[in-house]
Amino acid sequence: MFSGAQISLYPMTDDFVGVITSALRALTPYRDRLRVETDDVSTLLVGPPEVMFPAMRDLFSAAARTGVHCTLSAAISRGCPGEPDDAICASSHFEGPMAPLAQRQAAALSAVANAPKLDVPLVAQLSLYVMGQGNHMDEIYGCVEFLKQSGTFETSKHFATKLRGDSGALFATLEQAFCSFGPPEGHVTIDLTVSANSPSAS
């Protein structure tokens, strides 16, 4: 199954090029397991979720540690019927049949509990979209229930759920939201915003 993301890093500083260039070094340990292509709007990551989410986490954590207000925006996708399969995307997340919702929620919570602690406080906002079936809201509500118990939940907003927490727990939560809801072979996407060091943070 093809999976990946179009991601963009936005440092709100005159030296945005410097912050981006320096943060990109955090991707080095992941480059042999990801396809990476950049243009003037976004950077494409193609690879399995268990590589892609830690890569995004380390990239954004590096930018956040500069203290500059910065955000990461990402269109994350798996199983789009229009995309060709790619061996680099092979993932253990989607093996076997679809387990019952409660079982998937429990496994997702356990994965978040085991996330590394990075001491980088972040805020995130995500919308999960499940396509290709009539009962898509059941999976979306199941995911929101997981998010509420994840320890990173802040609030429900129109069109999105807002999370707050350490970078480690937060990106583990996002990876589980992306992988554990919607059918294993389904077309599932996340519209994601992550923010650090905002002067308007409450």
Count of residues interacting with its own copies (CB under 8 A): 55
Classify burial at 188, counting beta carbons within 10 Å of its beta carbon; exposed 0-12, middle 13-18, buried 19 or more: buried
The reply to whether 9 sits in an annotated binding site is yes
Stretch that binds its own copies, among 47-55, 104-112, 113-121, 157-165 (CB under 8 A): 157-165
Residues 6+ apart with CB under 8 A from 198: 69, 123
H-helix or E-strand containing 34? none
> Shortest approach of its own copies to residue 114 CB, angstroms?
27
Binding mask 53-92 for its own copies (x = CB under 8 A): ----------------x-x-x-x-x--xxxx---------
Residue of 183, 5, 167, 171 whose CA lies nearest to 104: 183
Query: From the CB of 78, what's the least distance to its own copies, in Å?
Result: 10
One-letter identity of residue 171: F
Name the nearest CA neighbour of 64 among 159, 201, 198, 180: 198
Per-residue contact flags (x/-) with its own copies for residues 101 to 130, judged by CB under 8 A: ----------------------x-x-x-xx
When binding is defined by CB under 8 A, the residue of 131, 151, 153, 183 that contacts its own copies is 131
The minimum distance between CB 38 and its own copies, in angstroms, equals: 8
Tokens of 9: 């890093």
CB closer to its own copies, 96 vs 199: 199
Q: How far is the CB of 110 from its own copies (least distance, A)?
A: 27
**31 to 54, 108, 130, 182, 202: CA distances (angstroms):** 12, 26, 29, 28, 36
Name the binding residues for thiamine.
9, 43
